[in-house]
Amino acid sequence: MNRKSALLLIYFVSLNLIAFSQFRKYSNEFLNIGAGARGLAMGGAQVASVNDGTAGYWNPAGLFNVRDYPIVTLMHAEYFAGIGKYDYLSLALPVNDNKRSLGFSLLRFAVDDIPNTLFLVEPDGSLNYNNVRSFSSADYAFLFTYSQSLVNTEKRKISFGANAKVIHRSVGSFAKAWGFGIDAGFQMQQKNWRIGAAVRDLTTTFNAWKFTFTEKEKEVLYLTNNDIPVKSTELTAPRLILGGAYNFKLSKQFNLQAEANFDITFDGKRNVVFSADPVSIDPRAGLELGYKNLIFVRAGIYNFQQALKDGDTLNQQKVWIYQPSVGVGFALKSLSIDYAFTNLANQSNPLYSHIFSLRLNLIRKKKENQ
């Protein structure tokens, strides 16, 4: 596949995405958090350069770079002062022909100990806190990734990949949903340049919800004028992510990688830098400074939005806000440790979170002379 063919592929995918622009429902927002402390520290700018086990999330085409040994990646993060817990696990497996890689990823976002106040009020109007029970709300995603090389020479490397994903969401004993979707990706490397494209929810991803209530619960919902749902379906519209990265060789010891991504949605106007109907574009950027491929310092910026200026309730003046992120990484033989410090809100209302991830190379590559 030459460069012209790659551009035609991206153009064809874009036309198909616009055709799906009528889907305006939202679901599976937990899949937009990210995966791996490295990517999160760089503001999620990963689609062009990702080359490890987290590629199953950022861009399945990047999984082809896992060719020497299986890689296991683990990540844990807690949001909103520990109320929400987010975990990520991936296994990347190179195939013996050195042209393909397979991967499996598991994502889980859960909020535990949610009070169920459905029976808090007794029939006589009194409050009985002994009737309060707790439940959990958990979202799961299972990603099965396939990646293959199209061109693999010293001058140029081109690969593509795809995800088949299964989604399960559970809200106590009241509601459960199953969903299915497909992602696809493309990556090209030439000298110090890298470009990438990923399409999430290519054919739209749907969640089919089923609700289960006891007769007593239905009675309370009816008496309190609440609707009693039976079934429903949520749709996640496709999105296209384009990115470019460049690796600056500062010296024999230091190198600097810079990447910019453009998250393109097709479901109408959003509060982003470029907002139109139906296409909106949300940019993000990240930097990674490496020393001998052993120590890394990272930073990123993303989620640009317009908001009212603090204290300005009279003029309603709007300013641009954003979310910053920083992090570090250490490579210790077959083990890598990454850390990210992110702001989940914006610079005026900070809500910080600490994120840790581990990457383990299971089998060391054998030397050719052995």
- Domain positions in the chain: 3-361
Nearest Cα residue to 232 out of 159, 161, 176? 176
**8 pLDDT exceeds 50?**
no
Other CB atoms within 10 Å distance of the CB of residue 35:
27
**1 pLDDT exceeds 80?**
no
Cβ within 8 Å of residue 226, ≥6 positions away: none
- Identify the residue with better confidence: 250 or 15: 250
Nearest Cα residue to 208 out of 184, 237, 176? 176
User: What ranges in the chain are assigned the alpha helix state H?
Assistant: 3-19, 37-41, 55-58, 215-223
Q: Tell me phi and psi for residue 122, to 5 degrees.
A: -75, 165
Provide the residue type at 65 as one letter: N
The pLDDT of residue 181: 92
- The whole-angstrom separation of Cα 73 and Cα 357 is 7
- The whole-angstrom separation of Cα 45 and Cα 300 is 8
Q: Tell me phi and psi for residue 78, to 5 degrees.
A: -125, 130
**57 pLDDT exceeds 90?**
yes
SS3 label, residue 40: helix
Q: How many CA atoms lie within 13 A of 231 on its CB side?
A: 2
What is the b/e burial string over 206-219, where b = at least 16 CB atoms within 10 angstroms of the residue's CB? Answer: bbebeeebeeebee
The two tokens of residue 120 are 């808090």
* Averaged pLDDT score across all residues of the chain: 83
- The whole-angstrom separation of Cα 92 and Cα 218 is 46
Sign of CA dihedral 160, 164, 169, 175: positive
The two tokens of residue 300 are 């990123």
Q: How far is CA 280 from the centre of its chain?
A: 18
The two tokens of residue 228 are 């009693």
Least confident interval from 92-106, 152-166, 334-348:
334-348
- Identify the residue with better confidence: 329 or 130: 329
The two tokens of residue 219 are 């009675």
The pLDDT of residue 172: 83
The pLDDT of residue 157: 92
**19 pLDDT exceeds 80?**
no
- The whole-angstrom separation of Cα 62 and Cα 196 is 9
Cβ within 8 Å of residue 368, ≥6 positions away: none
User: What ranges in 163-294 are assigned the alpha helix state H?
Assistant: 215-223
The two tokens of residue 340 are 């990210």
Nearest Cα residue to 60 out of 267, 259, 224, 199? 199
> What letter does residue 36 receive in the DSSP assignment?
S
**91 pLDDT exceeds 60?**
yes
CA dihedral 261, 31, 108, 362 (to 10 degrees): -40
> What letter does residue 24 receive in the DSSP assignment?
-
The pLDDT of residue 13: 41
CATH placement of domain 3-361: 2.40.160.40
Angle at 70 between CA 68 and CA 72, to 5 degrees: 140
The pLDDT of residue 78: 84
The pLDDT of residue 24: 44
How many angstroms separate the most distant Cα atoms in the chain? Answer: 84
Q: Tell me phi and psi for residue 16, to 5 degrees.
A: -65, -35
- The whole-angstrom separation of Cα 289 and Cα 211 is 49
313 — pLDDT class (breaks 50, 70, 90): low
- The whole-angstrom separation of Cα 265 and Cα 4 is 24
Average pLDDT (264-287) is 89
